[in-house]
Amino acid sequence: MSTTAGPLLALDDEFARELEGLYVPWRPEPVRAPRPLVVNAPLARELGLDPDALAGPDGVAVLAGNAVPDGARPVAQAYAGHQFGGWVPRLGDGRAVLLGELVGPDGRRRDVHLKGAGRTPFARGGDGRAAVGPMLREHVVSEALHALGVPTTRALAVVATGEPVYRETKLPGAVLARVAASHLRVGTFQYAGVQGDPALVRRLADYAIARHHPQAADADQPYLALFEAVVEAQAALVARWMHVGFVHGVLNTDNVAISGETIDLGPCAFMDAVDPETVFSSIDHGGRYAWGRQPLVVQWDLAQLATPLLPLIAPDAQDAVAAATPVLESFVARYDRHWARGICAKLGMPEDAPDGAALGHDLLRLMHAGQVDLTAGFRALSAAVRGDDAPARALFADPAAFDAWAERWRAALAGPGRDPQATAAAMDRTNPVYVPRNHLVEEALTAATDGDLGPVERLVDVVRRPFEERPGLEAYAQPAPATFGAGFQTFCGT
Ligand code: AMP
Ligand code: MG
């Protein structure tokens, strides 16, 4: 049984107070020999916590689940979900607990959640645990996304348990302490929706409005406005993923957050060469969650969010569908708008430039045809703006195709009073040099699994400053060598 810890983390239990019926009170299962692998100092400071105290014995005891902060009421959250399109009425936190919420110096409320914290009543066949590699992957990738300006949950710590977990092989175990705007998911609404208790869905919706989308409370139809706010937040999120080549990997409805943060970073990875069909996850045989399909599947997931909300939107089912449908359909235009704004910035153009989206689509088509690396390809464009086309041309097997595109691009870029140096500098603030390259992530996770944290620490340091080219880090900017390439697969942590 976990013990009670002192005032290191003052956690609130608002979710537990307000949303009875959507959780089981549950304490993390202590681990044998907790040892911190990562304490995220920048995040700790942002939360008003002392990183050194977190890394000390009392802090580690909490982060590992061996002690529960005084006053906290940890719970395992209930949720349902569509997994690869198939309905599962009861998923829930099988290996995680929500310790409680922390209100930071910025006034924002965030969940502190432990993943790999032992079996819960939702565990089904699982062992409740997690391995070091996947938990560190979540840390590396979420730090990268955060630095790239993409909303995401983050790791406050990864603590080795000193206990083995058995997957294909015996692996060292770890607990991830995760911080999130909340863990409300599309699947949370789906779960509430099938409990036969309309008041529960209403309580959940009211809670989600208050916590994430407070402007919806003032709308004529608050629940329709909540739906619209989530559609908008997800459209913005997916557009950002697309700009940086991020492939989430498991966009089941239980992995889509109401807050609009990236959540549940399992078999996720960044794409090298542009290809809409890019899939890394070993279980995604049909390519349902391929890079290029993400906008479509997230809209599908949002349709599943509409179902439990319909009775709140209007008493008559047909009226409710008539009201929700245009909102769901608006995802496409919202996504297109976010995508176009971002691509204009990547191309050095004002965010409402009329030619931006077409130029962006055409460039991506050329990159796909030429198997050009997404990150390197966009970064090379700033050199072109500074007058040197060579780095960009060198990436294209058919430089003439690039030249023809670049001519149109230059014509669109030219404008009175536009300073190429300022344009290039702005592009360098939006087109990263460094993303967590798959071969480097794999190398770093393998080393960490074998006890050497150096490569993970170096990789995190690199991806935390993605826009600033630093001497000596050339290898981090390169795509995977051909020997690594094509068959690369990622695996769920289960
Ligand atoms: P995920 O693939 O991490 O999104 O998890 C899908 C579902 O499986 C969730 O309900 C998880 O809590 C559960 N799950 C995943 N891994 C485990 C595990 N090792 N033990 C218990 N439950 C798990
Ligand atoms: Mg999940």
pLDDT value at 486 more than 70: no
Say if residue 7's pLDDT is above 90: no
Q: How confident is the model at residue 325 (pLDDT cuts 50, 70, 90)?
A: very high
Backbone φ and ψ of 305, nearest 5°: -70, -35
Contact criterion met (CB below 8 Å) for 76 and 120: yes
Q: Is 166 helix (H, G, I), strand (E, B) or coil?
A: strand
Express each pLDDT in 432-485 by its tens digit. Answer: 999 999 999 999 999 999 999 999 999 999 999 999 999 999 999 999 887 786
d(CA 5, CA 199): 36
Which atom of ligand 1 lies nearest, measured to the CA of 130?
19
Residues with CB under 5 A from ligand 2 (ion): 254-255, 264
Average pLDDT over residues 46-54: 97
pLDDT at 485: 60
Q: Does residue 254 carry a catalytic annotation?
A: yes
- pLDDT > 80? residue 380: yes
For 295-308, the pLDDT digits (tens) are 999 999 999 999 99
With 0.95 as the threshold, say if the pTM is over it: yes
Q: What is the CB neighbour count within 10 angstroms for residue 306? A: 22
Backbone angles phi, psi at 254, to 5 degrees: -80, -5
Token pair for residue 475?
Answer: 């290898």
State the Cα–Cα distance between residues 376 and 314, nearest whole angstrom. Answer: 50
CA of 122 to the centre of ligand 1 (A): 9
| Residue type (1 letter), 378 | F
pLDDT in tens, 95-139: 999 999 999 999 999 999 999 999 999 999 999 999 999 999 999
Q: What is the pLDDT of residue 8?
A: 85
pLDDT of 472 reads 97
pLDDT at 489: 81
Contact present, 226 and 209 (Cβ < 8 Å) = yes
Q: How far apart, in Å, are the Cα atoms of 237 and each of 183, 192, 274, 334, 415?
A: 16, 25, 19, 11, 31
Range 203-206 contact pairs with CB under 8 angstroms and sequence separation of 24 or more: 203/18, 203/19, 204/19, 204/22, 205/309, 205/312
**pLDDT digit string, tens, across residues 8-38:** 899 999 999 999 999 999 999 999 999 999 9
Q: What is the mean pLDDT of residues 136-151?
A: 98
Q: For residue 75, how far is its CA from the centre of ligand 1 (angstroms)? A: 16
Pocket-forming residues, ligand 1, beta carbon under 6 Å: 91-95, 122-123, 126-129, 250, 254-255, 264, 266, 492, 494
Interatomic CA distance for residues 412 and 420, integer angstroms:
13
Q: Which ligand approaches the C-alpha of residue 138 most closely? A: 1
Is 6 a residue whose pLDDT tops 70?
A: no
Question: Closest residue (by CA) to atom 7 of ligand 1?
Answer: 91
CA dihedral 185, 186, 192, 198 (to 10 degrees): 130
C-alpha–C-alpha distance, residues 208 and 214, integer Å: 8
Active-site choice (93, 254, 272, 301): 254
Q: Which residue has better confidence, 396 or 3?
A: 396
Q: What is the pLDDT of residue 490?
A: 78
pLDDT at 494 over 60: no
Angstrom distances, CA of residue 210 to CA of 103, 236, 254, 259, 304: 15, 20, 21, 11, 21
User: What is the CA(398)–ligand 1 centre distance, in A?
Assistant: 46
Query: What is the bridge-based pairing of β-strands 75-77 and 23-25?
Result: antiparallel
pLDDT at 167: 95
Give per-residue pLDDT as tens, 382-426. 999 999 999 999 999 999 999 999 999 999 998 777 899 999 999
Give the closest residue (by CA) to ligand 1 atom 6. 91
One-letter-per-residue 3-state SS of 232-283: HHHHHHHHHHHHHCEECCCCCHHHEECCCCECCCCCCEECCECCCCCCCECC
Amino acid 359: pLDDT: 98
pLDDT tens-digit series, residues 260-314: 999 999 999 999 999 999 999 999 999 999 999 999 999 999 999 999 999 999 9
Question: For the segment 181-209, what is each residue's pLDDT rounded down to a tens digit?
Answer: 999 999 999 999 999 999 999 999 999 99
